[in-house]
Structure 1
C-alpha cells in the first residue's frame, strides 16, 4: 500500500468521525437529571445494611495477620536503632499496630493517638509524652535524680521548645530510654495541615521518642519534605496490607450515600455545647433563635449578634464575642460566609428540626 493511500484513509476516517459527532449532537438531548434527584436512604438504614454484609476471606486475613507476628522482633530492633515505623498497604492497620504494641512493646511506654479524629490537640500529645517520659525516668533505679532538669513548672504551661528540649535530652545511656507514640492515620484530617506535620516531625526527631504510624491516603507522602522523611521521622516503610475494613476509622466520616441524621447531628452538637461556658451557650442560643426566625436569610451578621449580646449582657466587648466564635468554629458549630455587603455572616449548619432539638437539650 502506498503512502498516499494511507493518508487518504486517515482523512476519510477523520471526516466520518466528525460527521458522526455532528449528527449525534444535533439529534441527542441533554439529560435533565441532577445529583439532587438521586433517592438516597436514611443514614441509619445504610449503617444497618452495611452491618449485615457478611465478611469474606476471614481465614486468609487472619493467616495474613499472624504472618506479621514473626516480624515483631525485627520491628522492635528498628525502633531501638532510631527508626520510625510507617505502616502502609490496603486495609485497616489499627488492630495490627495495637497488637504489636501490646505484645512486643510491653516493656516500653506507649502513647496512642487516633489521627482519624476530626480534631486533635497536638500540644496535649507532646505534654502527655513528656509526662510519661518523666515518670519512666523516675521509675528507673539507674537514673540519678540529679541529672534530671528542674521541673517545678508543669509541662502544660511550658512552650513547645521547652518540651522538645526535654524530650531530646540525654537522660539515660543506651537506646532503651524512649516513649513510643502510636499514631493511627498520621495522614488523617486532624493532622493533615503543614504546621501539625512539622510539629510531629520535631517530636519524632527527639532522641527519647519513637513514632509508629500508619497511612492510607494515596497522597500521604506529599505531606513531608526530604528533611522530614529522612532526618526527623527517619521512616522505615513497612508494607503490611491487612485487607480489613475501616470500621472504626470510617465512623467519623459522613456517609455520602445517605441523608444526614438530624438526631445524631443534634446530639453531637449538644455534647460540644455542654462542654462550653454558660455565656457561650447563651451566645449560641441567640444565633440559633435568629436563624430559626429568619429562615430565608443566609445567616446573622456579626455586628447584629454583637449588638444583641451586648443588650442581654452576654458579652462585654468584641474580643469576648470573638473568643466564643473561635470556639464555635473550632468545633464546627458555626460556618462563616461573606455577606454581599462585605461583612461576615454566621450560619449554623443544622436543619431547623435539629436546631429545635438542640435548644431544647441545652435549656
Structure 2
C-alpha cells in the first residue's frame, strides 16, 4: 500500500471518529428507560428456558468423566490440610456432589448452598460439631461417661464456642474431620464480610475440610491474604464444566419478567449500582440542604443532574403538594424498599 493511501485511510478514520463524537455530543439524551422493556411472564420464560435443547452433551459428559481421574488427588489434598476451591465456566454443583458421594463416602459431609437467599451459618456450625462429636465417639478417642451426658447441646452454643470445639485438640492426628461443601461460596447469602470471616474461621479448624466453588469473576476480592493462604488455605482447581446453572438459577428473579416487587427491586438495584458514589448516597429529606452540607453537590444544577437519572428510570417521581410545591417521592412499596436496601447494604 502506497504512503498516500495510508495517509488517506488514517485521515478518513480520524475524521469519522471526531464526527461521531460530535454527533453523539450534540444529540438529545435518550428517553428510553428500563420500564419500557416489554417483559414476559416469569413462568413462561422459565418454561422456555427448560425446553432449550442442550448442546455438546457428549463432549460435556466426557469432560465430567475426565475429572473423576482427579478424585484421588483431591482427597489427598484435603487430607493434607488444604481446602479445595473449584472455579471455571459452568455449574460445578453436580461435579462436587459426585466427588463427595464417591470419594468422600468414608467421611461426614455437610452441604451449604450459597445460591439460596439465606443461610443459617450458626446452624451449619452446630451440624458440623454434632457430626464431629459422633465421629469422636465412634472412634473412642475421647472419654465419654458423664461428659457426654452433661454436654450442652450444640445448637444452644455460641458461634465462638462451636468454632473452638471444631478446632479443639481432640486427636493427635488429623484423620478425623468433617467435610464442608459450599456451593457458590460467593453467593448472595454469603457475600458479606462477617459471613466470609466466619467461613474462613470454620475452614481453618483442624477438624474441618472445605470444598467450595466460585462463579463470580470478582469472587477473590471477598478475601484478604490471610484468609486465602492461612484460613481457607485454598488449593485452586480450574474445572470448567459448561453445565447450565439450572438449580442455582431457580432462586433468582429473572430480570426480563414481570415479577412485581422482585422486578422493581432488581431494576432499582441496577440503576443505583450504576450511579456514582455521591449519587447513591443522596437522602431525600431536606434534600438539597443535606446534600450541600455533606458536600455531595455544590449547586442545585448538580443535584438536578443526579435526580435526572432517578427520574428517567422512574425510581423517583414528582408531584405537587397542597402549597403548590414540587415534592419528590419514591414509587416503590415498603417491601420493595426493604429488599432493595438489603441488596445494597
Taking structure 1 as the reference length, the TM-score comes to: 0.66
Determine if the alignment matches structure 1 residue 348 to structure 2 residue 335: yes
Q: Which residue of 2 aligns with 1:154?
A: 153
Superposed, 1:33-48 pairs within 5 Å as 33-48=32-47
Instruction: Supply the distance in 1 between the matched residues of 2:44 and 2:202 (Cα, whole angstroms).
Output: 43
Structure 1 residue 37: deviation in Å? Answer: 1.8
Structure-2 change in CA distance of 1:197 and 1:10 (3 Å): same
Residues 142-201 of structure 1, C-alpha deviations (whole Å, 9 max, x = no match): 554379788522112222221111111121232210000000000000000000000011
Query: How far, CA to CA, are the matches of 1:25 and 1:66 in structure 2?
Result: 52
SS of 1:33's equivalent in the other structure is coil
What is the correspondence of 1:324-363 to structure 2 with a 5 Å cutoff? Answer: 347-349=334-336
Q: Indicate the larger mover: 220-229 or 252-261.
A: 252-261
**Cα distance change of structure 1 residues 168 and 18 upon mapping to structure 2, 3 Å threshold:** closer
**2:248 maps to which residue?**
249
The alpha-carbon distance between structure 1 residues 176 and 147, as it changes in their structure 2 partners (threshold 3 A), is farther
Q: Whole-Å Cα distance in 1 between the matches of residues 226 and 249 of structure 2? A: 32
Distance 2:81 2:21 in 1: 65
Q: Look up the SS of the partner of 2:48 in the other structure.
A: helix
Contact 2:81 2:209 in 1 (8 A): yes
Matched-pair contact (CA < 8 Å) for 2:167–2:205: yes
Summarize the Cα distance change of 1:80–1:22 in structure 2 as closer, same or farther, 3 Å threshold.
closer
CA distance in 1, matches of 2:46, 2:148: 52
- Contact kept, 8 Å, 1:42 with 1:261, in 2: the verdict is no
What is the total number of aligned residue pairs between the two structures?
A: 267
Counterparts in 2 of 1:73-222, with a 5 A limit?
A: 73-145=72-144, 152-222=151-221
CA gap of 1:19–1:146, structure 2 versus 1, over 3 A, is: closer
Flag structure 1 segments of 5+ consecutive residues without an equivalent. 266-339, 351-363
Give structure 2 stretches of 5+ with no counterpart: 264-326, 338-345
CA–CA distance in structure 2, aligned partners of residues 245 and 186 of structure 1: 18
Cα distance in 2, alignment partners of residues 242 and 145 from structure 1: 46
- Going from structure 1 to structure 2, the CA distance change for 1:148 and 1:215 (only over 3 Å counts) comes to farther
Q: Distance in 1 between matches of 2:14 and 2:220?
A: 47
Mapped to 2, the partners of 1:230 and 1:27 lie a distance apart of 53
Give me the CA root mean square deviation.
3.3
Counterparts of 1:215 and 1:256 in 2: how far apart (Å)?
22
Q: Which residue of 2 aligns with 1:278?
A: none
With over 3 angstroms needed to count, the CA separation of the structure-2 counterparts of 1:149 and 1:194, relative to structure 1, is farther
Aligned-partner SS, 1:46: helix
2-structure distance, mates of 1:101, 1:26: 57
Would the aligned equivalents of 1:111 and 1:182 in 2 still touch at CA under 8 Å?
yes
Q: 1:348 deviation in Å? A: 2.9
Residue 341 of structure 2: aligned partner: none
Contact 2:114 2:185 in 1 (8 A): yes
- Does the C-alpha gap of structure 1 residues 261 and 9 become closer, same or farther in structure 2, counting only changes over 3 Å? closer
Deviation at 1:15, TM superposition (A): 9.1
SS of alignment partner, residue 190 of structure 1: coil
Indicate how the Cα distance of structure 1 residues 115 and 25 shifts in structure 2: closer, same or farther if over 3 A, else same: closer
SS of equivalent to 1:111: strand
In the alignment, which residue of structure 2 is the partner of 1:328? none
Q: Following superposition of structure 1 onto structure 2, how do residues 213-292 of structure 1 map, counting pairs within 5 Å?
A: 213-260=212-259
**1:45 and 1:146, CA in 2 relative to 1: closer, same or farther beyond 3 A?**
same
Report SS of the residue matched to 2:237. strand
Q: Mark the CA change 1:83 to 1:28 in structure 2 (over 3 Å): closer, same or farther.
A: closer
C-alpha displacement at 1:76, in angstroms? 0.5
Aligned residue in 2 for 1:270: none
Q: 1:40 to 1:145 in 2, by over 3 A?
A: same
